Chains A and B, each alone.
Chain A
Amino acid sequence: MDIVVIHALNALLYASVLFLIAGGLSLIYGVMRIVNLAHGNLYAFGAYVSAWVVGLLVARAPEGASPSTVLLLLLLPAGAVAAAAFGALLEPTLLRPFYKRAEEYQLLVTFGLLMIIDDVIRWLWGPYPLSASVLFENFGSLGIGDAIYPTYNFLVIAVGALAAVFLWAFIYKTRFGVVLRATSQNMRMSSALGVNVNRVYVQAFTLGCLMAGLGGAIIVPSQSAVLGMGVDALILSFIVVVVGGLGSLEGALLGALIVGVVREAGIAWFPEIELAVLYLIAAAVLLIRPAGLFGRA
């Protein structure tokens, strides 16, 4: 029984982080109709920045002592902020010239971006993993029956859940959300109605990057930041958005849960074909419901 609870918690943990990354990807696609292949790298960027900030604090702390957990927690979102700032910079400079061009070019330019950010991370932080495990350790663990589970992971799950609630409220209950949804429905119409589409785009893109960066920031204490984490995350997010429906946040949530559960089950029971099963699920959903479970056709 305990083992089932542990597996369920792990699945939720994956799902939380995946929802943040894939939700950002989906939001950007929904509003701007751009599939950002460099999206995973923004998640990686967030993870690196947070790990780096935590590392700085640890280095400054007096010998043997650990910096305060509260301070660390407060600084952890630095990665999310950095990724958002990065996004706010990228959209007007690199992506904007491509909205009127063919999809191929949009994909290619973001593929170039993927290569660039990969190496920028390597250049800034070197080829070795960057860890922020002090925070993870500070939280200790909880007993669940006979098993123990890291307390920090509960925090990650909570952040994922909170982010989902917050986003839902943001999209459906605020004025900005209305503008966002209107623009995603019909860019020309919104523009004709006086919506500043350029501004909506940069805001949506920044928000999407913030989510990816937040995903990286909250996961880095339990899993070090490593090179290549961005590309792996991108592929998993693709599965999530394909299953849930590209451009749908509800879909991203459901997709993240499905992928989280399948991954956890896969790692436990069918490790050899865990990834293959995920890709096949994505392919199957595309075939049966091309727009995804929650997508608009």
Chain B
Amino acid sequence: MSTVTTTVALEHRSPVRTLGWAVPALVILLALPFVVDQYQTILLAYGLVMGIAALGFNLLLGYTGLLSFGHSAYFGVGAYTVALMVKYLGVTSMELFLVGAIVACVLVTAVFGIACVRYTRIFFGILTMALSQVLWSLAFKFFWVTGGTDGLRVPTPTLLGLVTGKGDKIAFLATAYYYYVLGVFVICTLVMWVIVSSPFGRALQAIRDNEVRAEFVGIQIRQYRWVAFLVSGVFTGLAGALWVPLNGLTTPDIMHWTFSGEIVFMTVLGGFRSFTGPIIGAIVFNYLKTYAVGYTVYWQLLLGVVLVVLVLSLPTGIVGTAERLWARWRAR
């Protein structure tokens, strides 16, 4: 392999090589609840959920070249859809929640997307942020619907019509729900992998690299960006729906733009130039934040310093840096 080809970083072209990483990783994720305690398992479930959100987000940032500062909106739409389905419809089925979240996110992203994909760069960022803040302020102010800052409580759902969380909630979250999340995570990862490896995914990368040229190979840029926006938002919304039962409560905080900032943070932490980067970043960020919050009231300071140092010295993130070190080690 030539040294130049390693700059073609985004796609791991051989499915076999990808599987070589994915299978052991999946085995570890399957076995982990038997090894670590319930708290750790639940923490990992949070990480996987955020992994789905970041994966969706990165379809825009890493593959389409659009930095959204408003993905908290879609996460929140997913979460609030679940909470409102509980509150007004008395639904308990997790599958219905997921379907509801997808439908709601398609509707919201379809409308937001029409506006947002007309812009790129900083204007895209500001517009996505402004629109997400609209939803945040509605969730915040319409307390008789959304519970305002108190949020809405969500009981443990029924999984596949079989498993309920009656009784020991923690045990439910650490076993049945963990595997449920893992299942959805695996499906989402596979679907996203297919999307970025599809001709459509290639077209997005082309748009990212060179908008004008992409147009002159016949790609209708806005349409493609809109579809990417939709898919991206739906993934993040799905993550929001999965997140609510874990948290037991949804508050407007998850709609605030600073939460969007966290999604950007975890994606860059893992490395937005690689497919697995956002997943790794989300899991690591989740641990980092959880422990930082537990360790000091100044956790924001800690994370802020991590972010600044990261951007200054490791712009390719964990995965990008690991790949570079791995390549260097193999070259010896």
- Contact surface of A with B, Cβ cutoff 8 Å: 35, 37, 94, 97-98, 101, 103-105, 107-109, 111-116, 118-120, 122-123, 231, 235, 238-239, 242, 246, 271-276, 279-280, 282-283, 286-287, 290
- Asked whether, in the complex, the Cβ of A286 is within 8 Å of the Cβ of B123, the reply is yes
Q: Which residues of A contact B307 (CB under 8 A)?
A: 108-109, 111-112, 115
B contact residues vs A (CB 8 Å cutoff) = 61, 67, 69, 115, 118-119, 121-123, 125-127, 129-131, 133-134, 137-138, 140-142, 257-258, 261, 264-265, 268, 272, 297-301, 303-308, 311-312, 315
List residues of chain B with CB within 8 A of the CB of A275.
133-134, 137, 140-141
Tell me how far the C-beta of B37 lies from the nearest C-beta in chain A, rounded to whole angstroms.
30
Inter-chain contact A114/B304, CB cutoff 8 Å: yes
CA distance A238 to B128 in the complex (A): 12
Consensus secondary structure, chain A interface: helix
Give min CB distance, A17 to chain B, whole Å. Answer: 19
Smallest Cβ-Cβ distance to B67: which chain A residue: A104
Instruction: Give the chain A neighbours of B130 by CB distance below 8 A.
Output: 238-239, 242, 279, 282-283, 286
In angstroms, Cα B264 to Cα A109, docked, is 11
Q: Is the CB of A279 within 8 A of B133?
A: yes
Question: 28 A-B Cβ contacts within 8 A?
Answer: A35-B125, A94-B308, A98-B311, A101-B315, A107-B125, A108-B311, A109-B308, A111-B265, A112-B303, A113-B308, A116-B300, A119-B299, A119-B300, A119-B301, A235-B129, A272-B141, A274-B141, A275-B137, A275-B140, A276-B134, A279-B130, A279-B134, A280-B134, A283-B115, A283-B127, A283-B130, A283-B134, A286-B123
Neighbour of B304 across the interface among A113, A235, A280, CB < 8 A: A113
Q: List 17 extra interface pairs beyond A118-B301, A279-B133, CB under 8 A.
A: A103-B121, A103-B122, A104-B67, A108-B268, A111-B307, A112-B305, A112-B308, A113-B304, A116-B300, A116-B304, A123-B298, A272-B142, A279-B130, A283-B134, A286-B119, A286-B123, A286-B130
Closest A residue by C-beta to B141: A272
* Main DSSP-derived SS at the B contact region: helix
Give the contacting residue for B303; candidates A94, A97, A115, A286; CB below 8 A: A115
**What A residues does B306 contact at CB under 8 A?**
112
| Chain B residues within an 8 Å CB radius of A286 | 115, 119, 123, 126-127, 130
In the complex, what residues of B have CB within 8 A of residue A105's CB? Answer: 311, 315
**How many angstroms between the C-alpha atoms of A180 and B47 in the bound complex?**
47
Number of A-B contacts (CB under 8 A): 122
Q: B258: which A residues are within 8 A, CB to CB? A: 231
Given contacts A273-B138, A283-B127, contact A97 B312 (CB under 8 A): yes
> Which residues of B have CB within 8 Å of A123?
298, 301
Q: A112-B308, A272-B141, A286-B127 are in contact. Are A35 and B134 (CB under 8 A)?
A: no
Shortest Cβ distance from A33 into chain B, in angstroms? 8
* Least Cβ–Cβ distance between A232 and chain B, in angstroms: 10
**A116:B133 contact, CB within 8 angstroms:** no
Closest partner residue, chain B, to A283 (CB atom)? B130
Q: A276-B134, A276-B138, A279-B137 are in contact. Are A108 and B265 (CB under 8 A)?
A: yes
Of all chain A residues, the one with the shortest Cβ separation from B129 is: A238
Select B115's contact among A94, A98, A114, A287, beta carbons within 8 Å.
A287
Q: Is the beta-carbon distance between B141 and A271 smaller than 8 angstroms? A: yes
- Which of A94, A235, A282, A283 has the most CB atoms of chain B within a 10 A radius of its CB? A283
| A112: nearest chain-B partner, CB-CB | B307
- Pairwise interchain contact B134-A107, C-beta atoms closer than 8 A: no
- Cα A47 to Cα B308 with chains together (Å): 25
Give the docked Cα–Cα distance between A113 and B304 (Å): 6
Q: Which residue of B lies closest to A271 (CB)?
A: B141
Rounded to whole angstroms, the CA-CA distance of A81 and B298 in the bound complex is: 26
B312 proximity list for chain A (CB < 8 A): 97, 109
